[in-house]
Each structure stands twice: as C-alpha cells, then as structure tokens.
Structure 1
Amino acid sequence: MGKLLLFLLSFLSVMEVLGQYYDNGQAPFTVRWNQINTPNFQVIFPESLDSMAQVYASYLELTYLKVNKSILVQPKKLPVVLHHKTVMANGEVGWAPARMNLFTVAPQDNYFQPWNQHLVLHESRHNVQLNKLNTGTTRVLGWVFGEQAAAAVLGVHLPLWFVEGDAVAYETGSSLAGRGRVADFLMPLKAQVNEKGIYSYGKAMFGSYADYVPNRYVLGYQLAAEGSLRYGSNLWNQTLDYVARNPWQPRPFSASMKKLTGLPERKFYKNSLQELKNRNESKSLNANNALPGYRAISKPTKSEYVNYHHPLAIEGGVIAYKTSLSNIGAFVLIDSLGNEKTIYKPGYVFDNVFSGNDSLLVWNEYRATRFEQQNYSNITIYNWKKGKLYYLQSKGRSFYSTINSQVSKLVSSEIDESLQWSLTVRDLFSGELLVKVHFDTLQPVQPAWDESGKRIAFIAISSAGKSLGILNIETGNTNWLLTNELLEINQPFFVPGGLVLKGTFNNRSNFFYYDLKNQTWSLLTRVPYGVGSASYTNGELIYSEYTADGFKISAQKLLPLFEAKPQAYNDALVVHLSKQEQLVNFRTNNFGEFPVTKYRRIAHLVNFHSWAPIAIRTESNEVGIGATLMSQNVLSSSFLSAGYQYYRAEAFNEFFVNYTYKGFYPIIENEYRWIDFAFNYTDQDLLVHPVSGHQHYFNHNWSFPFLFDRGKWYRRLNLGLGYNYNGVYYNPSTTLVLNNKSQHKARLSAFIYQLQRTSHRDLAPQWGQVFNMQAEKSLNAKIPAYQWTVWGQLYFPGLLKNNSLQFYGGFQQKETGLFNLQNRLAYPRGYALYDFETLQTYRMDYHLPLWYPDLNVLEMLYIKRLTLNLFHDLASFNYQGTKRYQESIGATLGFDFHAFRFVAPLHFSITYAHKHTLNEPYLGINFTVDFNALY
C-alpha cells in the first residue's frame, strides 16, 4: 500500500506540471505551413521548403523500419514539425501532446554526418522509447489520463541518463557516425574517472555545484552501451517493458536492472565506469609535457573547474574565452606570467569561438526575439583597446566569423532561410557582402584565412563524410586535400608551409600538421585526453588541452613528432553497437515523392491530448477533486484546459476554462470560471437564512514582450493590457433581500528589467534592476474602485563570490469597490497582511551559498547545496486614517536536493524571523519543485 501511495503522489505531482504543457516556443505568425502525410509521420514544415521536407520524410520512414530492432515496439503515427528560423541546433520529442520538433540549422561542430540524418536517428529513438513505455499498465493509465500518463511515468521512473544515452548509442550503432565515434565526446568522463575518481551515483545523475559533472548524454552513452555489451542487446528492451508493466512500484527501473544484471543500479554504474577507466591507457603514457618546448600558459585551477576556450596568440600574451562554475563567460588576456585581465563579458558566444588580433575581437553572438523559434547569430566586433562594441548584423545567420590578417575582411559560414549554406566574405567595417560561394550538397564549417587573405581553409560535411578544402576567393575554385572521410577532422588553420587541424589519434583528439608542398601528414601533440582549439605565433602552437579541471592553455614548438594521419575512432562499444543495430542507409530511398498539402492552423487549434479524473489547475499549480481536459496544438501556439472542481470544505462547484494563444506577437490569455455556492447566513437577530447563487469570473489579458538583450545583459520590457469581470448573482429568497453585484475592471501594466547573466553557482544576478508598474480601475461609473502599484528591485554583488545583495521597495494605493483587489506587493515575512488603503514596503536580502556537500543520505536524498539568506523587512499600512507597521528580521536556511531519485530539483527552506512590531518569533517552512528540469 505504501509503494502504491508513493507512486500516486509522484505521478500526480508530475501530472500537475504536465498540465501546464511543454511550451517549446512559437514561430512567427508570418510562417505559412504545409504538410506531408507518410504512413507513419505527419511532417509539418514551412511552405517554401518542400524539397527539404521530402528529404526529412523519407529519412524518417527509412529509420522507422529499423529503429526498433533492440527496443521492440511499433510506434504510432507522430506529428513532426520542422523549424527553420532558429539558429539553435536541437531536436526533441514531446509527449502530451505527442510530437517531434526538429530544428534544422546545423551546428558548426557537427561530426561527419549531415545534421538531418543525425536528428532523425536520435529523435526517432526517443519516439521508440516513449512508445515502448506506453504499453502494459502504463497504456491502461493512458486510458484514464491520456498521453500525459506515459510522460509522467518517464518523469517518475526513467533516469535521464538512460533516455539520452540510449539515443546516443542508437545513433552510433545505426550509422557510420554518431557521437560514440567522436573522441571528444567521452573525454570529460575519461578525465574525471582517471583524475578525480568515480563520483557517487547521485552526483553523476543530478550534478553538482562543487564540481563539473559530465552531462547525461555522455554518462548515459557509457552506461547504456556498456550495459548492452555486458548483459545483452535485450537489456534495455526488457527494462522498459518492466517499467511499463510495473509503474506502481517505487523503483521499477532499478528492480529490472537488478533482475537482469544481478547488480544494484549503483553497482552497475560503478562497474561501467571502472570498465571505461580500464579500457583507456594511463594518462602518463601520453604526457605532452615531455615534448620539446612545452610550457603551460594558464595557471592551474584545482579549486574550481575552469575552461579556457579558443586561445588566440597576440603580442604580449594570449586571449581566451573563459568559462567557469562561478563566473559568467568572459574574454580574458593572459600575460607571459600567467596573470589574467578581463577584457569583456559577452552574451552567448556560439561554440565558444572567436577571432581577433591585438585590438579587435570578433564573434557570433546569439540574439533572441519574442518568438522562441526565431533567433539570430550576429557578427559582433569589440575593439578592446578602445572599449567600443558594435554589431555588423542585426538579423544574421552567420557562424565561425574569422578576421583576415589584413584586418579588412571577415569570412563566415552562413545559412539562409531556404537552408542553403555558403561561405561569405564581408567588409569588416561596413558589413558589405563581397563574396558568396554556395555549396549545394555540402555544409561548409570552420573557415580560416591564409596570410595573404586570398585563400580560405574549411571543412565540408556531406552524406559521404568530411572533407578538407582550400577555397581561392579570387577564382572561386576549391582544392580538396581530403575527401569524404568517415572520421573527425576540425578547425583547420594556416601555418608556415602548411595547415594545422584537429583530428583523432589513438582515440584521443590531437593536432596534426599537413605539409602543403610534400602532401604529408604529421602528428603534433600527444595529450592524455584531448585538445580544444589552437592558434599559431612565432613558431609555437598555442592550444587548449583538456584536464579533469577543464581546458587549460599550453604551448609547444611547432615540430612534427612523426608521420601520422587522422584516424577513425573505434572501441569496444562502437564495435558492439554496430552489430546490435541495423545500419540505416540514407542513400537508399524507395519512397518516391510524397504529396504535399496545406496545413491550416485554424483547423488544428484544438488537439486534446490528455485528461484526468482530477482537477488540474495550471494557474495555481494545484490539484483537487474533479476532472480536466487538456489541449495543445503541435505548433505550441494554442493552449486550452477545461474542467470541473468540487470544493469539499466549502461545498461548492466550479467549472473552468483557460485558453491562451501565443501565435500572434501579443500573448492573449483568457480565463473563465463559473461557481455555484450555497451557505447559511445568520442575521443580527440570529435568524438563519439559506443563501445560494452563482458567480461568473472572466479575465482577459494581452501582453506585449519586447527583447533588447545586449552582451551580458538580459533587457526586457513587457507591456500588459487586461480586462476583468466579476459578477455574483443570487437565487431568489423568500426570507432575505439580496442584491446582485458585478464589476468590470481594466488593467494596465509595465514590467521592465535589466539583469546580468548568471553563472552556474549564482543564487541571483550579480547586477540588475527590475521595475514594475500596474494600474487597475473599475469601469463601473458608480463603483470608483481603483488600485495602482509600483515596485522595484536592485541586485548587487555581495562581499564574496556568488553572494547577492538585493533591495526591494514598493508602493501600493487602492480604493476597494464591491470586490477585494489583489495585493501586488511583497510584505514582511512572518506577518499576515493588514487591510490598507496605502502600503509601502521595503526588503533587504543578503543571499549566500554555505556549502556544496554532494551528500547522499541513505540512497533517498542527494543534497547539492546549502544556502543562507539574511533579511530585513519593513512595511507601513495606512487604513482609514490609522497607520500601522510591520517589521521583521531573520534568516532562511535553504537546501537544494533530490529525493527518491526524482529528476526535478527540490528546494526546502526554514525561515526564522523576529517580528519586531509584535515582539514575537516566527518559524516557517517552504518547499518548491523545479519542474523545468523534466524538459
């Protein structure tokens, strides 16, 4: 009984957040959509991209025939939406509603396979996982709860390392590429187990604030692939089958693994990582520091994980893009003694890559818009000697922009909205397009100039593999040095007499030298784990090499060690997976051309995907007695929930409908509630009168979000316009005269903020300003009710790193009509809110981390962080000529943790305050769940 109760509590808590829908953002309303219906997919795509959609449709069908070899299930037909206006490379499969989103712009660091093939393989495996989970008892739950049942079972029972790791294993086994064949993919995990040991299972699953923990893709691939290698290809099929049939058990995933492998889940994890460690040579066998002229440039950072990306040699030092757990990313200058100086803190830098010289830095910076599925990658230039920043583009789709040695031009890899790739040359100062070279079937990536400014080295990706070419921009001809290689080659750049590029040697990434005259290859480095990026100066190779504490900068003479050519990555896991899965040959297309039809948005606004015999209130994050019906369209622009709730304590019924539309620029929200009530009213003569009636509540809002992000600052403005109706209507009574009452109210609001980006360890922005103003007024001439509110909050850095000092102040004035107006201000902790006509509030908070314990408690709790917040609150209330005060001072002790291996982070806090006004103590507790981690 206890096991069933625990499952129900977890299941209902996950369904509560699923009821809020998974909103992955919208494309602009100007996008018009077409569709292709194949036997197993409904491919929805922008109307100008029919040929691209045909390719995706055939790839999806080809993969469908083979994706279920090691997980036995026949997936149901699935909507697939192709997005072309976002520059963020990604893919996802959602469930509730069921759909696949594919973001079609490929990344620059893509491996030796076209992006569309990778997307289809990886996301098709997720589709198989969810369909397998939606069998057995879980399928029965789906009859009761709809599609959210399988999503909830996944959220409660499946570790995310399995969900992503199995998909990476599949993409590796079903193709000649995949991340399992990329040397850098397992690099962080190899370094960790060799230098820091095997972390606890809780730390590996849930992460840490103290240390860098390899992500769930890396860990998951090692565990999923190692598991099927050691215990058979049917391991994960049987495990998913067991979870689907036994979701009521507290830990069916672990129970199945114990049954099939004979090992508890934690022991399985440790054994798998020990195998990884045993399979790799000791780092001392390939120590680079024994090479002639080797020297370390960046200082050791054993106390914290720090990365130095893309070191650029300049006169007097090295510039790098530095990231760490404690600080946001920044360009830093490192002098010959290893001392650092921060040059500039940018916004999101694509691939952590930049170009520059002794005065200029150039990078591609992410720019968000109102529509999450429309964003840009803009060429950004910073003169760090003069402290001047300017953008060469405002709506760019440029990547890997590199400045020439003449400081006059930029070469970039660019993609237009028809998804055609090209190499472009632009004027450095005006942005004028000078040269554009199209590549019909290739994706050009990572371009680099030669010293003359006439040739460009680059990597090209195609369905046949990777190629290395040199483009002559005067003639437009390309000289291919390598063609159609099924291995990793990256980041070519010119050095005297040849090229340096990154490749694989002995299953580790290293740098190679290609002699252009003699057409020979040589190995330049031999590092224990792998390398990042490099540059050249005065006979030295300046490069980043990976350690368990991050990428560090080293230098060595540009001297070949011995002749060697980049190799293909291969290990026991790759060999096993290639035998386990069926190869998907994308070159064989027996489907022909599918018919294309219009996809009419208005006909697909309503898509009921889930329901529940409980009331799920998305607006208040509550569940209750009742029933709910939920709809979301596959374009994530139309959201509807409707239902009924019974309030047992007050004995009244409520019917509700919530509808939000996000397809236009303004976000339009509607809420309607109908409530019937009945109660007994006792008059002054102590006579009891039965009273009954019903209430109508309607709320309609328009919000206009504007984004002005720049560099390290998030700058946003949200303007709001709303209307509210509240009416109470009494049933006729023979003993009491009651007047119906109603109120119409208008609302205007403005919310503006400027907040600095936060690091992994930050509890709040180090700098920031927030301002909010809201005015509400009754539209009834006879009911002069109104309320206006203004508040602001300021953020400052504290005395120590990742500490935060915050000041909050607000003022509110109101005149209440027939209905109470909602308070909009924070007031002193520990007090109940007094009635007021005017309210002034003030708060000061000092927030700091106390400890990052990474502590496992009885395999039930994993505690990641302890925090402390010291506060002082003050408020002044004025009501009917009387002024009252509230003041409190105290502290809040917070715990960030995970419980029962539930993937969503939990936060528990205890607040103690001395209520100075009343001279009495206050003790309170608070508990929150971050459900965003489920997505």
Structure 2
Amino acid sequence: MRFYIAAFLLLANLQLAAQQFGGNPSSLKWQQINTDTVRVIFPQGLGQTGERVANIVTYLNRYTRQSIGNKERKVSIVLQNQTMESNGYVALGPFRSEFYLTPPPTSFDLGSMNWAEQLSLHEYRHVLQNMNFRQGVSKVASWLGGELGQAAATNIAVPNWFWEGDAVTMETALSEQGRGRLPAFFDGFRALSLANKDYRYMKIRGGSYKDFTPDHYPLGYLMSVYGRDHFGTTFWKDVTRDAVRYRNVFYPMSRAMKRRTGMNVTSFYHTTINYYDSIWNAWAQRPEITPVRTVSPKEKVFTSYKYMYPAGNHDFVVLKGSWNKIPAFYLLHPDGAEQLLTYPGIVYDDYFSYRNNRIVWAAARFDARWSWKELSVIRVYDRNTGHTHTITARGKYFSPDINNDGSKIIATTVDPDGKYGLQLINAQTGDIEKVLPNPDNLYFANPRFNSREDGVIAATRDKHGRMALTEQSLATGTITNLSDFSFNTIGAPAIYGDTAYFTAGGKDVNNVYAMTLSDRKVYQVTDRPNSVLFAAPAQDSLLFSEFTDKGYKLFQSSLSASNWKPADLTVRSNSAWLNPEFHEGGNVLNKVPHDSLSVEKYRKTTGFFNFHSWVPTFNDPEYSINLLGNNVLNTTSTSIGYTYNSNEGTSDIGASFMYGGWFPWLGTGVDYTINKSGLTSKGQRVYWNQLSWHAGVTVPLNLSSGLYGRSLTFSSNYYIQQLYADGLRFRVNPQQYTSTALVFSNQRLRATQNIYSHFGQYLALQYNSSIGSLRGNQFYGRFDLSLPGLSKNHSLVLQAAYQRHDTLGNYSFTDRFVYARGYNIPFYNRIYKLGANYHFPLWYPDWGFAQILYIRRVRANAFFDYSRANDYIRKVDNYYRSTGGELYLDTKLGNTIPFTFGMRVSYLLDPDPVDNAKARVDFIIPLQQLFSY
C-alpha cells in the first residue's frame, strides 16, 4: 500500500514539474549533433558547445560505468541559452536532459569549472543512473506506467540524496574541481557539527521550518564517499541494484545497505556524520583560529546577513533575509538597531554593491511570453533621496559595482551565444559607454572599481575553470593577472586603498585573504572554523559574514597586517577529506577527444506526439488517468484519458493536444461524456451523453518584476457537442458555444515560513456563451485577496465568488464553483459567496515515523463563508452560512514528496436543504492551494 500511494503522488508531482512548456521564442533555430549515444539539441550558433558536450558524454558512456552499470539507452540533451539560471536536470517523461548554459555568477557554491563541461559530468551521471535503474520491479513499473512509472518506482526505491550525491561524486572524481572540493559545499553540515546539533536522519531528509538543515546534495555526497571509501567503488552499484529491483518491498535501499554493511540507512547516516564531525571539530579547535566579536543581533529564526559595506559613523549596509521576512537592504547601526532601506525583489544573484550612499544590484526581469527568455536590469537605490530607479534597459547583467560619484557602473554580462565580458555603463542615462575587450572569453565574477577608478578588479575564471584575481584597464582594455590561475575558488573582492581583500577556498573552509597591489603578495587574513562569504575592511577592523546553524552571521576581528600569514593560492592546502581517492580514473576532461561531429538542422516537429507515460492527476473536482505525450523541446503536449467529475458525477473519455511553439498556444480536443445531467422546469433530473470537440487559443504572460510574481493568462475556445439520450428531445442539437477565460495572479514574494503571500491577488473570470438561435450562457468569477495577519507568518485571505447561468435549460456547462464549506451543492441560477480565512501556524514538530511520514508544520485556518443562491423556480434566495476550522499537516511523504492533508469541521448556521445537517466533518487533501504562487 505504501508503494502505491507514494507512486501515485510522485507521478502527479513529476507531471506538475514539467519544465517551461513552449518557453523558447518561435524565431529560435535549432540544430543537432546526433550519434548512437546522444542527440545534443542546441540553438543555432552553439555548435562548438554542442560538440564538446557530445564528446564528453560519449566518453563517459564508454569509460566511466564501473560504479553504476552497463545498460544502454540513447538520451536527448537540450542546451538552453536564453535563461539566466545556472542549472540542469535529467528527467523521464520524456527521457531527456536540459542544460541551462549561463555559468554561476559566483564560484563558491557550484565551482568555477567550464559550466558546460561540469553539467556534462554531473547530468550524464543521472542519465546513467536512469539507464541502469530500470531493473526488476522498476522495469515492470515502466511497462505499466511508462517513463514516469519508472521514475516513480526508482525515486521511491532510491532516495534523492543518492541521486545527487553520486552525481556530485562523479563531477568531482572526473575533474580537477567539482563540488566535492569546494569548502562552502559543506558549510551546512559543518555548522551543525560546530553547534553540536545532531539531528535525526528523518529531519535531515525532511527539512524543517524552524531549524536549518542541509539539503540532499552535500548529504548524498558525504554518504556516497564514505560508502566508497569503506566498502569499495562498486558498493553503491550493488546497493541500488537491489533497491530498484525491490529485493525488499519495504525500505528497499535501507535493507540493501544493511545486507552489505550491517547498518540500515539511519545508522549509516550517523556513522558517516560522526566520521566527518571528528575532522571538522578538530579543525575548529586549533589555537590559530581567529578570535572574533559577534556583531549581528541575535535572532530567533534562521537569519542571514550577507554582503556588508561601511556606510560611515560605524554603520554598515547589509543584505538581510530570514525565514519569516523576505530579503531586504538594511542600515545596521553600532547598537544593533536596523533601518530598512529597500527591497531587491526577484534576483538571479543576491550580490550587491554600495558606495557613497548608493546601492546597486541586478534585478530579474522576464520576457512576457517566452518563459525561457530571462533578463535583468540594473537598479540603484539612493539613500539621499530614498528613491530606487532602474538604470539600464533589459539585458543579461550580473554583479554590478558603482563608482564613488555615482556616474559609472561596471557589470558582468553574459550573451546567449556564450560570450562573457564587462560593460561600462553611464549611471545617469543607462547608455553603454564601453564594452571592454575579452579575447580569451574570461568570466568576470564580482567586478569592482579599483581605488583610482581607472580599472576593474575581478575574480576571474578561464575556459578551463581556473581562477585568478585580475585587473582590467578601462582606458586600454588590457587585462593583467594579479595572481596565477588555479582551481582554488576566489570571489567577492573588496578594495581598500592599495589592498584587495577577497574570499578564497585555499584550505578546508573559505577565508578572507588580502593582496597588496603594489607587490601582488597574498596573505591569509582570517582562519575560521566555517566558511566566510564576504568581508568589509574598515579602518582597524574587519567585518565579515560566516555561516552558522542560524544563518550567515556578522563577526568582527582586528585588522592588523602583523597577524597576516603569507599564502599561495596556486596550490591546494586542503585536508585529505576534501580531495579523496575515488578510483574512477581521475580528470577525464583532458582525455576527452575533440572529434569533429556533424551538425544538422533539428526539426521542431521531431517526436511531435511522443507518448511516454500513464499518469493520474487531481484537480478537484476532476480526477483523471491519462496517457501523456511531449516532444523533447516541450512545445507539444498530448493527452488521452479518462476523467471523473465529482461535482457532476460524470465520466469523460477524451483526447487533447496543445502546441506551445507560437505566441498563442493552440489547442484542440475531443471528449465523450457519460451521465451528464440537468433539471427540467418541473424539477426532474434528466441524463444524457454527449460528444464534444473543441479548439482554441491560450496566451500565457509572465509579468513578474520587483517584489511580485505576476501572471496573466487569456484563453478562448470554441466547442461543438452532440447530445445523445433515449426518450429526450433537445431544443438544439448539436450545441455550439464559446468559452473565454482570464486568470490573473499577483503575489508578493514569500519568506520560507510564510503560509501565504503578505499581499496577493488572484482573479479568475470565465464566460460561456452559446452560438445559434437557442441561447445559453454561464458566467463565473472569483477574486482572492491575501493580506498580512497579526504575526509575521499569519495571513488573512478574503474570497469572493459569483456564478450565474441561464434558466432556459438548453445548455449545461461545467461547474467549477467552490461552494460554502459544509454544504451540499444547492439549486440555483445565480449564486455568490464571500469567505474569510485566517491562516496561522500552530507547531513545527519536525517529527516522523518509520521513514513514511514526516511532519514539518501543523497549521490552522479559521473560516467563515457567506453564500446566497437564487432559486428561480420558487423565486426565493437561500442562505448558506458556515463557520469552522481547518487543521493542516504539511508533511514529507517517504522523506521526499511534499504532501499536505488535514480535516475540516464546518458548523452550518443555515440548514442544508439536502440533508438538514447542522455540522459536517471532512478530510481534505488540498493538492491545489488557494493561490497559484
């Protein structure tokens, strides 16, 4: 039973996670490199990148299978060059991978490797996992449910920490860097160790709304490496083979581990963490640790202070964000008081710069129609006026810096064709004054004006992924290496006189380093137990942010050059645990051949239907089972299946098709509905079946900017339907009508603990109207408004809904009205409802049992519904008023799947005319929340 429930929910979850349907501009031309191993699909002009990806994954397929298996299956890899996110994924349904080609703006979290090469190493490991996990029960699941059936079975059998931990292991084992060699990658677990926090395995897996827990990437890597070191390179191949075959139906992965180690997954986790704890604690207890004074105020919830700058009078400008407040810029006073300045809003990179009362950052912008096309603008906040304004037109900017008089801005730019560089921008007009030359296509992270403002100092990475501190002249464009290139990550430079302070990963944690620019000597300034993110020198002290179990906290130390230690960042000074022996052949990027491969046109019609999975879905009141199809570019969506409508008691067999490659989505479909019903003028219910065909257009628009995620969707469809019934004559048959809808959502950003947005609106309007002499129509409208409650995590949600339909009886349109809670569906020709909801958290238990259900939050909602329905036959208005409460449990099912359920107690202030009930208890599974976030 546990397997089927989890598989059922995971299939729905995987379907809802479909990526960016119809997101690329229709003008984009696609090409491909098609071999027996891989089909790499990419926009025109990226042939060199596509060729490199194809060569790498072909090599990986041939020579790096020892620890995963030898099963073969060709995969499609799509290179996305329009997005500004640094990401990638592999998915089944359909089987493909997508690489988001924009490199990470900083190097501490993901590294500095050539981004396409790192994605190839990491994501192709997921490809090999999916190939080799199709065994036993998981293979049967693929026969029954298609690719998403296999995905459900394997994701239940193999926890997400292994999928990602094993991939991080391989990106580290097969390169000179990888996340396994980045000190900041382990900051979370190291912070828990230093704070003596020993959480249960279920809490680490399920997460928490009250305590910080690292995600499954470092968890999986630590367990992966520990297993390899102690039980052999093929240990995990053997364990996962047993798990996906379901050699044990219950806890297949844990049982497989226990057979080979004597430890189940919980014991294995604690053994792993205890091993690393001893290393981290020994590091933190060294006598040379830099003494500090805590500067940031003590907070009750997880709060981070990142990137701070001196602002005069011993004040600092900081970026502060917490789990109950969205990130904002604050002025931090010496006494700990904080003054809100402004909000950065939606960003791709939270880095910002400050100089002489001006804050500058890159804010996210989006193309209204094409969801893959992401952009940014440079924004400036002026403390003198209190105003924020946009400087530039839409582009692809990261990490801007502003000069002292506020006239110039320097920013990193990334072009869709893979070209990087720096642009000098006029801060008054937004005009690009100069595009600095970049013949070697270096990537400049966190550029800063030097003290003379005639050059730019940046943490720079080359095409091999090595990093150095460089300076580029604004006058001549000449690039000077201030340090030698190496695979040690560096970033976030701060220029103070003739010294450049920066953060680097030269040892087991990231620390502050300094370079005296006159002689280019490098010194280690701090020696801390956990990683430093950013440092701000100010007179005789150094302020820096360091990661703790409560977030990034501000610490202050003395700034005395006599305590600095000479450092050489061209060599690795890490402990052995940061550079383990993987027995996988070492760096392969230098071994991969540069074979010239044939580039061909890729037709957008390739795999137009491409059926891949059977999937159940819920969209109350409709429940469906569908055969799904999507092409690899995700511009087509096909569905054939069965739907049951619980409001109407109808069954529907239908097929639909949507094409999203043009500006409007074009859709069509056919349905045969059984057991439709309606009331005659005498109050008798009659039943019929109907055959329907429809076609229409949908225009989805993304209007997000600033603090708000906004969407506007307009759709219009034409329907023709033939009705069939014994002994019934319809006034019009076939029936024809149009259905037009508009949905608008505007939601302010939410913090982690916020249940709903503190200010948001949701508007849905739909009008159905007949075509022909016999008339019929229906109008539906709904408006939701969310407001802040009495506490930071409380929300007041007000609702209004209205629906009316004609009384002629010619047409019966689909009913999607949400009725007053506790009542049966009333008889009416028009109805409205007003609702008030007050949502608030009750408890963060962080408790679970048997690795099945883990409860992260218990929350409640007190509600009142007022509804009035007009009975046009009896010519009276009937009232439906109810009040009560709802209790929700926000959980993780199987430690993986977010799952909310609860119960509702409704007290009916007016009798229900159907059964005369006074109260009702319902169990609820809100698979769709009140708002679309």
Q: Normalising to structure 1: TM-score of the pair?
A: 0.91
The amino acid of 1:56's aligned partner reads: V
Call closer, same or farther: CA 1:929–1:841 in 2, change over 3 Å: closer
The amino acid of 2:223's aligned partner reads: L
Match of 1:408 in 2: 407
Match of 2:301 in 1: 304
Match of 1:714 in 2: 709
Q: Please give the secondary structure, in 1, of the residue aligned with 2:296.
A: coil
Q: Please give the secondary structure, in 1, of the residue aligned with 2:758.
A: coil
1:757 aligns with 2:768: no
Call closer, same or farther: CA 1:620–1:60 in 2, change over 3 Å: farther
Match of 1:549 in 2: 550
Match of 1:418 in 2: 417
Q: How do 1:17-28 and structure 2 match up within 5 A?
A: 17-18=13-14, 22-25=18-21, 26-28=23-25
What's the offset of the Cα at 1:472?
Answer: 1.3
Q: How do 1:505-904 and structure 2 match up within 5 A?
A: 505-560=506-561, 561=563, 562-566=565-569, 568=572, 570-576=574-580, 578-610=581-613, 612=614, 616=616, 629-643=627-641, 655-675=653-673, 695-730=690-725, 741-782=733-774, 784-816=775-807, 817-880=809-872, 881-899=875-893, 901-904=894-897
What's the offset of the Cα at 1:307?
Answer: 0.5
What's the offset of the Cα at 1:58?
Answer: 1.8
Match of 2:327 in 1: 329
Distance 2:928 2:501 in 1: 46
Call closer, same or farther: CA 1:530–1:16 in 2, change over 3 Å: closer
Q: How do 1:18-167 and structure 2 match up within 5 A?
A: 18=14, 22-25=18-21, 26-110=23-107, 111-167=111-167
**1:16/1:623 contact within 8 Å kept:** no
Distance 2:61 2:354 in 1: 46
The amino acid of 2:863's aligned partner reads: F
Distance 2:98 2:558 in 1: 47
Call closer, same or farther: CA 1:536–1:13 in 2, change over 3 Å: closer
Distance 2:497 2:50 in 1: 45
**2:676/2:690 contact within 8 Å kept:** no
Structure 1 unpaired stretches of 5+: none
What's the offset of the Cα at 1:824?
Answer: 4.4
Of the candidates 11, 14, 37, which is equivalent to residue 15 of structure 1? 11
Q: Which moved more, 1:716-725 or 1:411-420?
A: 716-725
**1:422/1:439 contact within 8 Å kept:** no
Q: Please give the secondary structure, in 2, of the residue aligned with 1:528.
A: coil
Call closer, same or farther: CA 1:113–1:859 in 2, change over 3 Å: closer
**1:421/1:440 contact within 8 Å kept:** no
Call closer, same or farther: CA 1:66–1:718 in 2, change over 3 Å: same
Call closer, same or farther: CA 1:391–1:15 in 2, change over 3 Å: same
What's the offset of the Cα at 1:245?
Answer: 1.9
Residues 7-37 of structure 1: per-residue CA shift (max 9 Å, x gap): 3343344334556672344212111111111
Call closer, same or farther: CA 1:723–1:619 in 2, change over 3 Å: farther
Distance 1:739 1:767 in 2: 48
The amino acid of 1:772's aligned partner reads: A
The amino acid of 1:71's aligned partner reads: I
Structure 2 unpaired stretches of 5+: 912-916
The amino acid of 1:374's aligned partner reads: K
**2:356/2:405 contact within 8 Å kept:** no
The amino acid of 1:109's aligned partner reads: T
**1:87/1:105 contact within 8 Å kept:** yes
Distance 2:17 2:200 in 1: 33
Call closer, same or farther: CA 1:225–1:569 in 2, change over 3 Å: farther
Match of 1:927 in 2: 925
Match of 2:914 in 1: none
What's the offset of the Cα at 1:401?
Answer: 0.6
**1:33/1:44 contact within 8 Å kept:** yes
What's the offset of the Cα at 1:140?
Answer: 3.8
Residues 632-688 of structure 1: per-residue CA shift (max 9 Å, x gap): 10011101122468999x999864212122222223333321256799xxxx9x9xx
What's the offset of the Cα at 1:105?
Answer: 0.9
Q: Please give the secondary structure, in 2, of the residue aligned with 1:170.
A: helix
Q: Which moved more, 1:373-382 or 1:748-757?
A: 748-757
Q: Please give the secondary structure, in 1, of the residue aligned with 2:223.
A: helix
Q: Please give the secondary structure, in 1, of the residue aligned with 2:93.
A: coil
Q: Please give the secondary structure, in 2, of the residue aligned with 1:352.
A: coil
The amino acid of 1:318's aligned partner reads: F
Q: Which moved more, 1:246-255 or 1:374-383?
A: 246-255
Q: How do 1:434-473 and structure 2 match up within 5 A?
A: 434-436=433-435, 437-462=437-462, 463=464, 465-473=466-474
Residues 113-163 of structure 1: per-residue CA shift (max 9 Å, x gap): 111111101101111111111133422433343222321112322211111
**2:10/2:897 contact within 8 Å kept:** no
Q: Please give the secondary structure, in 1, of the residue aligned with 2:510.
A: strand
Distance 2:598 2:134 in 1: 31
Q: Please give the secondary structure, in 1, of the residue aligned with 2:921.
A: strand
Distance 1:712 1:719 in 2: 23
Call closer, same or farther: CA 1:833–1:134 in 2, change over 3 Å: same
**1:392/1:431 contact within 8 Å kept:** yes
Q: Which moved more, 1:259-268 or 1:279-288?
A: 279-288
Distance 1:385 1:603 in 2: 57
**2:392/2:431 contact within 8 Å kept:** no
What's the offset of the Cα at 1:856?
Answer: 2.4
Call closer, same or farther: CA 1:877–1:428 in 2, change over 3 Å: same
What's the offset of the Cα at 1:379?
Answer: 1.2
Q: How do 1:50-449 and structure 2 match up within 5 A?
A: 50-110=47-107, 111-246=111-246, 249-282=249-282, 285=285, 291=291, 294-301=292-299, 303-316=300-313, 317-369=315-367, 370-436=369-435, 437-449=437-449
Distance 1:473 1:490 in 2: 20
Residues 385-434 of structure 1: per-residue CA shift (max 9 Å, x gap): 32322222342111111111232111111111211011111111212112
**1:288/1:525 contact within 8 Å kept:** no
Q: Please give the secondary structure, in 1, of the residue aligned with 2:285.
A: helix
What's the offset of the Cα at 1:558?
Answer: 2.6
Distance 1:306 1:394 in 2: 33
Identity of aligned residues (%): 24
Q: Which moved more, 1:171-180 or 1:919-928?
A: 919-928
**2:344/2:361 contact within 8 Å kept:** no
Call closer, same or farther: CA 1:513–1:651 in 2, change over 3 Å: closer
Q: Please give the secondary structure, in 2, of the residue aligned with 1:829.
A: coil
Call closer, same or farther: CA 1:858–1:149 in 2, change over 3 Å: closer
Distance 2:730 2:791 in 1: 62
Call closer, same or farther: CA 1:579–1:621 in 2, change over 3 Å: farther
Distance 1:233 1:929 in 2: 41
What's the offset of the Cα at 1:81?
Answer: 0.4
**1:286/1:526 contact within 8 Å kept:** no
Q: Normalising to structure 2: TM-score of the pair?
A: 0.91
Q: Which moved more, 1:904-913 or 1:122-131?
A: 904-913
Distance 1:287 1:299 in 2: 27
Residues 765-804 of structure 1: per-residue CA shift (max 9 Å, x gap): 111233333222111322x211223332222111112100
**1:413/1:445 contact within 8 Å kept:** yes
Q: Which moved more, 1:746-755 or 1:128-137?
A: 746-755
What's the offset of the Cα at 1:620?
Answer: 6.5
User: Number of paired residues?
Assistant: 904
Distance 1:287 1:892 in 2: 55
Distance 1:667 1:152 in 2: 29
